[in-house]
Structure formats: C-alpha cells, structure tokens
Structure 1
C-alpha cells in the first residue's frame, strides 16, 4: 500500500513587498522593572502607545532618528546622565550599538527606551513617568 499524499492546497500564495518602515520587537522588553512600569496607567496610555508605534512603523530608521528626531524627541541615551547604568541585558555590549529613546506624546505619556538593529526597534522599557532622566 502506497502512502497517501495530502491534497494540494487551494490557497494561493501572495507576494508581499517587505515593509518599508520600522518594526517593533518586545524580545528584550523588561516588564518586571517597577521603575519602568505601566501597571497603574489607564487606557489613554495604551492608546497613545499603540498610535505612536503605528505612526512610527511608516517611517524608516533615518526618518525617526534624524529627520524627525526633534519632534519625536528621539535621541541616543547617554547613560552618564541617567538613573541607570545600562539596560542590563545579557551580552548587551554586543547587542546594543546605541540605546535610543522616543516620546509617546508631548510630555504626557513619557518615553520608550530601546535600541535599533537594522530596521527593528527593540523595546526594553516603557517610561511613562520620565524616570530614566532626573
């Protein structure tokens, strides 16, 4: 008796262009750090966060970190001027070239801290209360 073959799929594959903008990853997200917690934030915070990521995902790394850096308050993090010495990630020296932050909205919802690897921004901390910088 010969093994049966699965019927061919009738779903046609679709060729999709790769996204032009930045993608976001939570691979290194640290939600257990009480200093950078959103546990007491309301739905307005979450809404601002999702909208900001949506808007940034239409931009390139250069558009975020250079062209629109001032309006987004996107800039490298200078650990010497912060309350933390680093992200404290395993192999951080090899992983993080330049740590960055950007604002969610004009001073109301704080900042997002992380780093770029190519066109992916790895979110490490959500800082709704501006606790990284004094």
Structure 2
C-alpha cells in the first residue's frame, strides 16, 4: 500500500488573526500618554475623533443653544475640506490658521485647567504639565468658526467649536 505524503505547502493566514493584530496595534489617546511630535505626523492627512468633545453647553461646546443647523453643517463641511490636506499643508495654508495654542499666553482665553477638566474630569493621574498640545484651525465657512483640539498619533481629537473666536481672538 502506498503511503500518502503530506507536503507542507503555502498556508494562508487567517484574516481574523490579521484583523485582531491590526486593531491591537492601533491605540486611541489615553489620558497622560505622550504622543509623537508634529514633524512625525506632518505628512499625514487628518483623521478626526470626538472622544473628548466638550458637551457641557458652554460657548465653546457643540451643544450650546445658540448653535443651529448651519453651524453643524459648516463644521462638517470644514472637516471635509481639511481632511484632504496633510497637517503640513494645513500649517502652510494661511487661510486655515492652523497652529498650536499656548495656554500660558495672556492673549489666550483658556487656561490649562479648562483643558484638564475635559480630558480628565476627576483630575486623577494627570497634571497640567502632561496636557497634549492644543491646535486650532479655521473651518472655512461663512461663519468663520474654528475647531480646537489636539493631535495624538496623527488623529485630531476635536474638543471645542470656537464660533466666536473666544479662545484665541482674531487680530
């Protein structure tokens, strides 16, 4: 009787294992975690996340009663427009006014504790020194509002909607 030979051939990897590996390699921002420097992500196009969106009904929040349908549509249009730029192109496009915000600057109407309250409401395990850098950009629609948030591994976490230029007043 002839023996069956078992040849080891090419094995196709299980897609479930590949997906699990890809998901595990991605990480969302965790309070106090250090990201990577801007120059390392400057050639990436923004991906937007809303995990830290401030919804406490103040003037800088999306759910303040004075915001209407036009504000929401303008916000979404603005995100759509800038999503085709790289962060570097955003920085170099003067009309977008994309730049970091120094919370210690006297011209800025926001302090580190305001930002800390959004990221770590209980203040446990994080100090103002560990806050990520805030950035803003103009949403480029007829109301001239700004999106304000922070970058972490190429993801832009939107925190505030500055419709009236409260955080960093126009010059």
Partner residue, 2:83? 57
Per the TM alignment, residue 42 of structure 1 is displaced from its structure 2 partner at its CA by 2.1
Asked if 1:118 corresponds to 2:142, the answer is: no
Q: Kindly indicate whether the alpha-carbon contact (under 8 Å) linking 1:48 and 1:109 is maintained by their aligned counterparts in 2.
A: no
Asked if 1:74 corresponds to 2:109, the answer is: no
TM-score, structure 2 normalization: 0.58
For structure 1, list consecutive stretches of 5 or more residues without a partner in the other structure.
Answer: 1-19
Q: 2:137 aligns with which of 89, 102, 107?
A: 102
Deviates more, 1:21-30 or 1:108-117: 108-117
Q: Aligned residues, how many?
A: 114
Q: What CA distance in whole angstroms lies between the structure 2 residues aligned with 1:33 and 1:40? A: 10
Root-mean-square deviation (CA, aligned residues, Å) is 2.3
Q: What CA distance in whole angstroms lies between the structure 2 residues aligned with 1:57 and 1:42? A: 23
TM-score, structure 1 normalization: 0.72
Asked if 1:129 corresponds to 2:155, the answer is: no
- Bigger-Rg structure (1/2): 2
SS at structure 1 position matched to 2:59: helix
Q: What CA distance in whole angstroms lies between the structure 1 residues aligned with 2:98 and 2:168? A: 14
Asked if 1:30 corresponds to 2:54, the answer is: yes
Partner residue, 2:74? 48
Partner residue, 1:16? none
